[in-house]
Amino acid sequence: MTAPTKSESRYSWGGDEHLVVQISEAMSLEANFTTMAIANLLASRELDGIIDICPSNASFLVRFDPDVIAPADLEAAVRAAELEVGDTASLSLQTRIFEIPVWYDDPYTRETGARFRDRHQRPEGNDLEFAAIENGLASEAAFIEAHAGSPWITSMVGFVAGLPFMFQMVPPERQLEVPKYLRPRTDTPALTIGHGGCFACIYSVRGAGGYQMFGITPVPIFDPEQKLPDFSDFMAFFKPGDIVKFRKVDQAEYEQIQAQVADGSYRFRQAPVTFSLDAFLADPDGYNASLLEVLYGA
């Protein structure tokens, strides 16, 4: 991997308290990984005056207190971190891999999609059928297999509380791409698995949305009351850099997991991993297989 150079990055100011750094105009895995590496390096330095660092797909925002750290000093620190990351021969990320069960082709997202077909590119079909056609796949089942067959990396969390955007960890020519609805819906079921452009997402709460809908998960990803053990540290489960494996479940298992969530016994299947970008780029399928061995065992 060749990290984006200093000349490709764009620094801009958002009012008196925000610095925005755009690493690249392309939303690639390499740009996202560089963004996370810089954000993590800055966070590890615990500079006085930095309030928050928010990484995005190919950029990051730094919120700071100008009464504690001068804007020029902040910019110098960020540029130094960018150069240090760019000089690193091989980037790696300490993260985790976990499983998200999905009831694909569920009645809730199908019903919602049917109510809003007048806003869709293909009013006569459904979202899964449209996605299969757009990606040259023979059937909805083939699309589901491609969607659940490889891991995804969380490129950012936001838009609404706890909502993750995920980038498929496959070579670019195999990435699933589906356009958003022509006009957004005014309703989307909570915990819908969505897709827009090259990004998957999970709608953390019920609300408006324009991504194609493929299924629904029974597990919460945003828990303001922090009832489940996996939310003991924070009310939002996803973090940038998380690696996700979708697993197809049927209605019976979906309802079984719902019951575990309700009684407080559900735990995410997860494991810590060190993700190496160079190793992944050298052999995506082989590297993905090794990640899944960590999650599920050999």
- Whether 145 shows a pLDDT value over 70: the answer reads yes
Q: What is the pLDDT of residue 12?
A: 96
Query: CB–CB of 256/177 below 8 Å?
Result: no
Whether 55 and 143 map to the same domain: the answer is no
- Categorize the per-residue pLDDT at 86 as very low, low, confident or very high, splitting at 50, 70 and 90: confident
DSSP 67: T
> Is 256 inside any structural domain?
yes
**What's the structural domain count of the chain?**
2
Name which of 49-58, 81-90, 212-221 the model is least confident about. Answer: 81-90
Whether 268 and 121 map to the same domain: the answer is yes
> Is 140 inside any structural domain?
yes
Whether 218 and 276 map to the same domain: the answer is yes
Neighbours of 69 (CB within 10 A): 17
The three-state secondary structure class of 149 is: coil
What contacts 181, CB < 8 A, 6 or more positions away?
116, 119, 120, 121, 210, 211, 212
pLDDT digits (tens, 9 = 90+) for 91-124: 888 999 999 999 999 999 999 999 999 999 999 9
> Is 290 inside any structural domain?
yes
Share of the chain above pLDDT 70, in %: 97
Domain endpoint, select from 38, 68, 89 = 89
Whether 131 and 204 map to the same domain: the answer is yes
Integer Cα distance of 31 and 148 in angstroms: 24
Taking 3-state DSSP, the helix, strand and coil percentages for the chain, each rounded to the nearest 5, stand at 35, 25, 40
Integer Cα distance of 47 and 65 in angstroms: 11
Integer Cα distance of 176 and 224 in angstroms: 32
Domain endpoint, select from 89, 109, 126 = 89
- Categorize the per-residue pLDDT at 136 as very low, low, confident or very high, splitting at 50, 70 and 90: very high
Look up residue 184 and give its amino acid: P
pTM for this model (two decimals): 0.88
Range of the domain at 30: 6-89
> Is 1 inside any structural domain?
no
Cβ burial, residue 274 (10 Å; 0-12/13-18/19+):
exposed
Integer Cα distance of 213 and 8 in angstroms: 35
Neighbours of 185 (CB within 10 A): 18
Domain endpoint, select from 67, 89, 111 = 89
Q: What is the pLDDT of residue 60?
A: 93
pLDDT digits (tens, 9 = 90+) for 47-64: 999 999 998 888 999 999
Residue 224 Cα to chain centre, angstroms = 20
**Residue 93 vs residue 176, higher pLDDT:** 176
- Whether 2 shows a pLDDT value over 90: the answer reads no
Integer Cα distance of 111 and 252 in angstroms: 19
Residues 216-233, mean pLDDT to the nearest whole number: 95
- Whether 6 shows a pLDDT value over 60: the answer reads no
- Categorize the per-residue pLDDT at 23 as very low, low, confident or very high, splitting at 50, 70 and 90: very high
DSSP 4: P
